[in-house]
Amino acid sequence: MTNLTRRALLAGTAAGLAFHNLPALAAPLARFRHGEFEVMVVSDGHLVLPTSFLAPDANPAERDALLKAAGQTGASYDSPTNVTLLRRGGDLILIDMGSGDRFMPTAGKLWDNLKAAGIDKTKITKVIFTHGHPDHLWGTIDEFDEPMLPDAVFHVGAAEWDFWHGSNASYGLPAERAGFVTGARRNYAAIKDRVAMMKDGDEVVPGLQIVSTPGHTQGHVSIALKGSEDLIITGDAISHPAISFAHPEWRTAADHMPELGAATRAKLLDRLAADKARLIGFHLPYPGTGMVERQDGAYRFVAA
């Protein structure tokens, strides 16, 4: 009981754990400098997900107390979707492309939000995908299956590309998510002639390095920006502002390989805390920026 209370308090005191009243359009654009990069974060809206996705194998009483302390109750929850845009020299680099108009009505707001912020999407030169799930990839094409960014170069993890195009692409997916495979292949097909494959340790531009973070999907990657301290931009290796930090070992139903996902999450959190690195989390409260601190044998997210 003492452990449950400590973890609940840990999550409850983390700044910025707001699950409700998420705006469809998030303004103003979050913007700051990191080394040679101008960093911007824009909202793609949010997803509405079943709470049962969150650590289904965990002790229900401990899980529910943790979520309640963080202000989350009910059978579903709102999960923010934060897209990062980087400017370095002549490059404008987008990290993931949001949901588009075929996934959830609460998401797919990226292009409207960029326009509202005065950013011309035609100036985007490079796109880096963390992985091939709908909320990260399906904004790649328009209603006619044409690329939204026909002049950009698209950087895809080689392992992720091979996974979605392989015969075992439905591994780890329940039947109701089988359409993820069809959608991934449809979006990738539209950009196949402009794809650059990448792997762990590759530099897309100077100071931007690919970090392999598998488990959520087989080829999931994160991005590290160099500066006085690192800035890690992660897709779904860290996906919830309470559970991912207080219990990185808890398996999540959204991970294709839950045990590997938990191991990757613990390793990434340890790196973030040890290096005092900054973090942008795709599914953390907008704009998803902050730091990771160790506390009572676990971690907490300190929003910035």
Q: What is the CATH number of the domain that holds 275?
A: 3.60.15.10
Q: C-alpha angle with apex 145: 140 to 150, nearest 5 degrees? A: 55
pLDDT band at residue 296 using 50, 70 and 90 as cut-offs: confident
In this predicted structure, the answer to whether residue 76 has a pLDDT above a threshold of 90 is yes
Question: Could you give the CA distance from residue 38 to residue 223 in angstroms, rounded to a whole number?
Answer: 15
Residue pair 233/222 in contact (Cβ under 8 Å)? The answer is yes
Q: Which two tokens stand for residue 175?
A: 């039947």
Report field, pTM of the whole predicted structure over 0.75: yes
- The 10s digit of each residue's pLDDT in 136-194 is 999 999 999 999 999 999 999 999 999 999 998 987 678 888 899 999 999 999 999 99
Q: Where in the sequence is the domain holding 173, given as residue range(s)?
A: 2-303
Tell me the pLDDT tens digit for each residue of 172-188. 678 888 899 999 999 99
Residue 104 to residue 47: CA distance in whole angstroms = 7
Number of domains in the chain: 1
CA distance 257 to 241: 20
What local confidence, expressed as pLDDT, does residue 6 receive?
A: 31
How far apart CA 153 and CA 196 sit, in angstroms, is 7
Model confidence at 10: pLDDT above 80: no
- Judged against a pLDDT cut of 70, whether residue 12 lies above it is answered with no
Q: Is the pLDDT of residue 21 over 70?
A: no
pLDDT of residue 118: 93
Alpha carbons within 13 angstroms on the beta-carbon side of residue 69 total: 22
Q: What is the mean pLDDT of residues 32-39?
A: 96
Mean pLDDT of 72-87: 95
Which pLDDT band holds residue 117 (cuts at 50, 70, 90)?
very high
Distance between alpha carbon 288 and the CA centroid of its chain, in Å?
9
pLDDT one-digit tens code per residue, 231-248: 999 999 999 999 999 999
| For helices 60-69 and 2-13, angle between their N-to-C axes, nearest 10 degrees | 30
Residue type, 53: F
